[in-house]
Amino acid sequence: MAEIEKLKMLQSEREALKKRVRTPVREKEVKREATSETVCPECGSRQLVHDYERAELVCKNCGLVLDEEFIDRGPEWRAFDHDQRVKRSRVGAPMTFTIHDKGLSTMIDWRNRDSYGRAISSKNRAQLYRLRKWQRRIRVSNATERNLAFALSELDRMASALGLPRNVRETAAVIYRDAVDKNLIRGRSIEGVAAAALYAACRQCSVPRTLDEIAEVSRVSRKEIGRTYRFISRELGLKLLPTSPIDYVPRFCSGLSLKGEVQSRAVEILRQAGERELTSGRGPTGVAAAAIYISSILSGERRTQREVAEVAGVTEVTIRNRYKELAEKLDIEIIL
């Protein structure tokens, strides 16, 4: 019981440390650091370069030295591979919003070895086993943390299935946490809100995924995701612009194994279509698929309408209708 009390006391101290408010002096220092040395006082340029060999901050535009002999905050050691980097590093993983405790809690390793790498004696292994078990239990202390832990693991699962980058996962976790803080989860499924947060994060980071793609990897319907997304975007004041067809082009071209020339031509076709307002009121995936279909023909890397439709997740009829509109309005001659 003494071990349990000790662990609980350590947990409470850690929580108090996290909630500690920064002093006014520290806030002023942070504010000054954020605002200073971002603009050149001579020419007003923001293009500042750190010269680490001379320890100087130099304006790229006029050459003025803004700061000198600054401290290099990087590591003093060098590493040439992953193993060396792990061995020489003296710090833990960075803070992340994708873990319910932001990655700030401790973890007792499963290997029965001490800090010097020596094996733990059989006499102390039972004690270590109990400590490990209670550490796992007190990491998730109440219902809110349990909810958050489940939701963030669900977010990570869906993001992995869709192959989304790290910044999208972090953004989705922040949106979900905001929804929890404003009590928007009540009366809605955790999976539905998590899927809606992921969809919003994809749009915010310009890595668009359709509702159908999100629904495929989630455990809720497309209709519920759309309804929940509209609700949380309204309540949280998320100002998201309509998805551009250009954002879909790199992914579709990669799925069709097309060269960069085809992608560049498809983007140019979509830019011309946007200038003439041919993309408004039409699904972005269908317009992007039609532009790629036209570009593949013009570049000599022909792909069939069925192949493009399968990658884009639209029907062949949609591609036919859109590519005829684009070819007619933009005066593109296509030889089939």
List binding-site positions: 40, 43, 59, 62
Q: Exposure of 155 by Cβ count < 10 A (0-12 exposed, 13-18 middle, 19+ buried)?
A: buried
Any long-range contacts for 259-263 (C-beta under 8 Å, 24+ apart)?
Answer: 259/299, 259/301, 261/299, 262/292, 262/295, 262/296, 262/299, 262/301, 263/295
Radius of gyration of the chain measured on its C-alpha atoms: 27
| Dist. CA 219–CA 306, nearest whole Å | 28
Structure tokens at 58: 């130099």
Question: By the 8 A CB rule, do 48 and 57 touch?
Answer: yes
| Dist. CA 273–CA 269, nearest whole Å | 6
Structure tokens at 245: 């067809």
Residues making up the binding site for Zn(2+): 40, 43, 59, 62
Over 287-313, what HEC string results? HHHHHHHHHHHHCCCCCCHHHHHHHHC
| Dist. CA 220–CA 192, nearest whole Å | 6
